[in-house]
A and B are shown apart, each in its own frame.
Chain A
């Protein structure tokens, strides 16, 4: 737990490069140099407004409009296409909304093995996109979302013999958290969530099939239906605290203090769960930019891989190879390990995944696939070039070796490096030659830079954001 004062008032200074990178790493998947340059010198609220105003369109793949297939017999699963579609999108666009889509994917989880139909997974993703900041609407609509109905058995829950799967996870994982509801609430809510049937690409609520009887949920009695459960749940203080906690853990600090949760939960309630103004406040705040919170989070494999591609201006990479790397780093897109989603932070790091993350970074910097070593391709099926010289030319003072080391460290690492670290890295880059031999126009420059970048991506600090 962290005792940094919870100061949600706007961060007064204009953003430096490090500040802009902090914001971009946390609020988007896309810390590109273009965006860094666009945000440097702006005040925090203005920078956040600029970012949130970016609303790049997403194109839905043509197969998403086909009738959903539920089994191998009725059609191909299209899971690889689903993964490529989503990763291809986040690779090439900068948007806070994308991060919120990922937030909801890991909140209202579903997985393609159970759901099968990728058409439904796309539809669910589009639902998250449409209501990315609107928790009440999203909550109501997720009840009847075909992928969710299939994932948590809502389509098989019948009046008289309800299936409790969705009702339990609604309270435990989607709204209140353990300890804030009773077993009786689960049983009663399961009754209220009956009545849904999937019909092709959508689902239908049929009151004839729903249990309309008297129920008591979280202390309130009435002939409650599914939307009443949502309404009653969102009235609970615990719900605002639960959503606030998840937002802080995603954007600021994995171990928030009670004060921080209370302060953000207050905002959540004040804005009636409209999370857009909440996020604007959070991302502009002194709390967010506090030194204490720099590098306080561990990147997900998505943030690690897409983030590196973005920094290296290598987003033309075939998204299939990013998907493959993410799978090796134990984050299979659209296939979380359980309904709890990926737990994140420390859970990303173990004796296998940590060295694997190092190998990913090293290989990507050579334009190669981790593990296999095959050459990375662009979406146009040409070899992917990692042009580090061009990246470094955009840093200030690229003709000074020490400035290059400092600039690359700032680009790749969320914490300040020590003089000792930079001295060693300078040695790595110069191969023992004096710093004055640095010349970015020399043919050796790219391989020197590759040594530097590879050594930095091996550092544990690179796994932080």
Chain B
């Protein structure tokens, strides 16, 4: 009998198999974890070039945007929400016409520091009001009528790590803090992410028993069972490798003076912070509430005080958790590498229902924050007069415009990659959310960096001098757009001097977007006009 004798002796009982040498599969993960040289090879390649980190915060259940960023001078808002609206004097100041929910002090502070972008009216054509379809659409970044099987983050990471999963990058490509794994992280070759609640617990779960490698798979061929076994072996292998890596990072985490709130979402962001400061090279983190918490059909506010209640508590949890997380990132010196983004499957209906709540709606504000974020309110205040036939708000910004901003500006991806990941080219409508120079190398123009070097004065009243970095031989344009994306002015750039003079005396007060274009590359920043 051709029997593979590799086992020494069976221990008296229990988990003795754990300690046995493992030499079954081509990839002997346990042995690698013990210091085998192949470890380094396995972990060798495919680390993404970017050291920038994106933290996604999912507001599961459909966040009520109108009670988050309050249109506090809009009579229609108070008319349609007699019992649940937030009074003007209760809201925290944001703009002349908009206020923050009173529990969003942390977001307000980030905005006041110029680190928070508020994008109004985010949705997509023919919005779906189902939680589950809506969530899938947002995660897969597809049109409303397309049923996608992979997530936009998964597709982006697949580009970064083309050899995954046969070669695993040294850090997990994406991490979800929680007990489930999001469709958003699903790539064409399996999930690009791992999930766990706590690094210590994860390590213990993986390492307190025997390995999957003891018994190899049989050849099940192309059967459902065969596919499921392969799927589980990939998952197990990732877990085996990364439990060690994640614990190593958590153990090296720097300490800080920041006290986190004792909420679930804050504890999840705290784990993210630990992993970042401990040196994990993961590019994308995802955290969310455990359930459809933001689904506030009933009693979203207390009957006697609309500033308190379920929704107020959720916004308070969000704002306080993000505030603590960003404060810690700042204290530990990681602030410039981190950007955060919230998302939710839909906003809620303009009018309240009869149970102190709101039913499923459409467009809502989305938040992007970080030191490299161009803090501003993008888009106009909610239009509560011109609604769709159901009575819901119309879309101002496609959610993929923001994804495109993240891919192009934050992760510095070429236009072609962003277009592949999002199944369409959203560059023209991407918002200038990040103040980050981009490379024009993709155009064949060498390693030149396209970017703004100065804008003075800013804020401006009439004359502005804009200095840009651009290759002297390139063709470049400077565009001035309003925050709704309409082009107000375009001007070719003298690339020898790199200086453009603008006169903004004809523009009303507010934020404007300056976009520098050269071929297919573009970068944007904000210009503020004062009167």
Q: Which residues of A contact B (CB under 8 A)?
A: 2, 152-153, 156-158, 160-165, 168, 172-173, 178, 183-184, 186-187, 253-255, 291-296, 298, 330, 337-340, 346-347, 349-356, 358-359, 362, 366, 414-418, 420-421, 423-432, 447-448, 450-451, 454-456, 458-461, 463-464
A385 to B208, CA, bound (A): 22
Is A455 touching B357 in the complex (CB atoms < 8 A)? no
Complexed CA–CA distance, A157 and B298 (Å)? 9
Knowing A163-B359, A168-B130, A337-B291, say if A460 contacts B210 (CB, 8 Å).
no
**B353 pairs with A339, CB closer than 8 A:** no
State in angstroms the CA–CA spacing of A351 and B234 once bound together: 9
Residue pair A460, B179 in contact (C-beta under 8 Å): no
- Closest B residue to A424 by beta carbon equals B215
B152 located at the interface, meaning its Cβ lies under 8 Å from any Cβ of chain A in the complex: no
Q: Count A-B contacts at CB 8 Å.
A: 222
Assess whether B291 is in contact with A338, with CB atoms less than 8 Å apart.
Answer: yes
Q: A358-B210, A428-B7 are in contact. List 10 more A-B contacts (CB 8 A).
A: A183-B129, A253-B224, A292-B223, A338-B132, A338-B291, A414-B225, A427-B5, A448-B10, A455-B215, A461-B217
* Residue of A with least CB distance to B239: A351
CB–CB B210/A340 < 8 A: no
| CA A354 to CA B129, docked complex, whole Å | 33
Residues of B within 8 A of A161 (CB): 352-355
**C-alpha gap A455/B208 in the complex (Å):** 14
User: Are B17 and A455 in contact, with the CB atoms below 8 A?
Assistant: yes
Residues in B neighbouring A460, C-beta threshold 8 A: 212, 217, 228-229, 232-233, 236
Please give, as numbers and ranges, the residues of chain B lying within 8 Å of A459 by CB-CB distance: 212, 215
In the complex, chain B residues 174-210 whose Cβ is within 8 Å of any chain A Cβ: 179-181, 191, 194-197, 202, 205-206, 208-210
Q: How far is the CB of A173 from chain B (nearest CB, A)?
A: 8
A352 touches B202 (CB 8 A): yes
Take A420-B218, A427-B3, A455-B215 as given contacts and tell me if A352 and B131 are in contact as well, using a CB distance cutoff of 8 Å.
Answer: no
B180 touches A427 (CB 8 A): no
Is the CB–CB distance between A428 and B354 below 8 Å? no
- Please name all residues of chain B whose beta carbon is closer than 8 Å to the beta carbon of A255 when the two chains form the complex: 224
Q: Do A359 and B208 have beta carbons less than 8 Å apart?
A: yes
In the complex, what's the smallest C-beta–C-beta distance from B122 to chain A, in angstroms? 20
Contact call A420/B132, Cβ cutoff below 8 A:
no
Residues of B close to A178: CB separation below 8 A = 128, 130, 132-133
Give, as a whole number of angstroms, the nearest-CB distance from A18 to chain B. Answer: 13
Question: How many whole Å from B458's CB to the nearest CB in chain A?
Answer: 45
Digitize B228-256: 1 where CB-to-A-CB distance is under 8 Å, 0 elsewhere. Answer: 11011101101100110000000000000
Pull 11 A–B residue pairs with CB atoms less than 8 Å apart, ordered by A.
Answer: A161-B352, A178-B128, A183-B390, A349-B232, A350-B180, A350-B194, A351-B195, A418-B219, A420-B4, A456-B215, A464-B225
- Verify if B214 is at the interface (C-beta below 8 Å from A): yes
Interface size on B, as a range, is: 35 or more
Q: Which residues 246-301 in B have Cβ within 8 Å of A in the complex?
A: 290-292, 295, 297-298
Question: When the two chains form their complex, are residues B129 and A330 in contact, meaning their CB atoms are under 8 A apart?
Answer: no
Top 8 closest pairs, chain A to chain B, by CB: A161-B354, A431-B10, A295-B225, A156-B355, A418-B218, A460-B232, A296-B224, A351-B194
Main secondary structure of the interface of B (DSSP, over half): loop
B304: interface (CB < 8 Å): no
B132 with A172: CB separation less than 8 A:
yes
In B493-516, the 8 Å CB interface with A consists of none
A358 B3 Cβ-Cβ under 8 A: no
Alpha-carbon gap, A408 to B1, bound state (A): 20
Complex Cα distance, B218 from A415, in Å, reads 10
B7 touches A432 (CB 8 A): yes
Given contacts A156-B355, A164-B353, A417-B218, contact A346 B231 (CB under 8 A): yes
Instruction: Say whether B162 faces chain A, with CB atoms less than 8 Å apart.
Output: no
Residues of A contacting B242 in the complex (Cβ-Cβ under 8 angstroms): 351
A424, B297: Cα distance in complex, Å: 56
> How far, in whole Å, are A261 and B131 apart by their CA atoms in the complex?
25
Question: Please, how many angstroms separate the alpha-carbon atoms of A309 and B360 in the complex?
Answer: 43
Are B197 and A295 closer than 8 Å at their CB atoms?
no
B225 pairs with A415, CB closer than 8 A: yes
Q: Which of A421, A454, A463 has the most CB of B within 10 A?
A: A454
Nearest neighbor of B214 in chain A, beta-carbon distance:
A455
User: Does the CB pair B181–A455 fall under 8 Å?
Assistant: no
Please name all residues of chain A whose beta carbon is closer than 8 Å to the beta carbon of B131 when the two chains form the complex.
338-340
Q: Write out the residue numbers on chain A whose beta carbons fall within 8 Å of the beta carbon of B13.
A: 366, 447, 450
Asked if B473 lies at the interface with its beta carbon under 8 angstroms from chain A, I say no
The residue that A164 contacts in the complex, of B2, B194, B208, B297, with Cβ under 8 A, is B297
Is residue B220 within 8 Å, beta carbon to beta carbon, of the partner chain? Answer: yes
Measured in the bound complex, the distance between the Cα atoms of B10 and A450 in whole Å is 11
How far is B215's CA from A182's CA once the two chains are assembled, in angstroms?
51
Q: Are B179 and A330 in contact (CB under 8 A)?
A: yes
Complex contact A356–B215 (CB within 8 A): no
Is B218 a contact of A158 with CB atoms below 8 Å? no
B12 at the interface (CB under 8 A from A): yes
Given A178-B133, A338-B131, verify A163-B15 contact (CB < 8 Å).
Answer: no
> With contacts A172-B130, A172-B132, A460-B233 known, is A432 near B5, CB below 8 A?
yes
Contact across chains for A458 and B298 when beta carbons are under 8 A apart: no
Q: Pick the residue among A157, A183, A420 that contacts B354 (CB under 8 A).
A: A157
Q: Which residues of chain A are near B233, meaning CB under 8 Å?
A: 460
* B492: interface (CB < 8 Å): no
Q: Do B195 and A2 have beta carbons less than 8 Å apart?
A: no
Q: Knowing A168-B129, A352-B197, say if A423 contacts B7 (CB, 8 Å).
A: no
Contacts of B24 in A (CB 8 A): 424
In contact, B194 and A156 (Cβ under 8 angstroms): no
Q: Is the CB of A423 within 8 A of B15?
A: no
Instruction: Give every chain B residue within 8 A of A153 (Cβ-Cβ).
Output: 297-298, 355, 357
Bound Cα distance from A352 to B198, whole angstroms: 10
